[in-house]
Structure 1
């Protein structure tokens, strides 16, 4: 995932939290908002210290980035998306995290048909 497609600034995170919509399942929380001027979606990832040590948190972030990379053509391009990992993700493998992410994105109609 290119760095231009990531949300890194705290102000942008806070803006999406306040102005966007949210949805969650047991493993992940999804915040998103529409940005019609963008031609590619952007993602922000948050994995708290309660989840585990740095190795575990970075592994979860790598899994989420890879899942978005594989779903790149399917995700609607005019969105800012923030994913927050919950406690159960520390025991999940890549395929389980990707399945959970697809569930959230499809529930909120963020995937193209």
Structure 2
């Protein structure tokens, strides 16, 4: 499974406007199918989560959890938004939250 990053603000806005959202205690996920043949992932962690060290830690946890848990043959644009509660979450809480959101997305799709 390969994935790249969403980088441009226009790519983010397209997913926010047209994508579906799923919410959990620690994360919010916006997802939109794309026709690129690979998945693109964007992360959004606001300053409310904490200082730069905390924000980067949360981003690393989300990235690693996604890398280990995302199994799909389809291609999507996905944005994960860290909620304020995620600043104190450990890897296992973030992973559980992400699994919940990805399963929710799969159930809605079917």
- The normalised TM-score by structure 1 is 0.87
Q: Which runs of 5+ in 1 are unaligned?
A: none
Displacement of 1:23 after TM fit? 1.2
Q: 1:41, 1:75 within 8 Å by CA — same for their partners in 2?
A: no
Q: Which structure shows the higher strand fraction?
A: 2
Alignment of 1:75-90 (within 5 A): 75-90=72-87
Q: Does 1:100 align with 2:100?
A: no
Q: Secondary structure at the match of 1:30?
A: strand
Q: Does 1:44 align with 2:42?
A: yes
Equivalent residue for 1:33?
32
Equivalent residue for 1:8?
7
Q: Which runs of 5+ in 2 are unaligned?
A: none
- The normalised TM-score by structure 2 is 0.89
Q: Secondary structure at the match of 1:97?
A: helix
Displacement of 1:76 after TM fit? 4.4
Q: 1:25, 1:104 within 8 Å by CA — same for their partners in 2?
A: yes
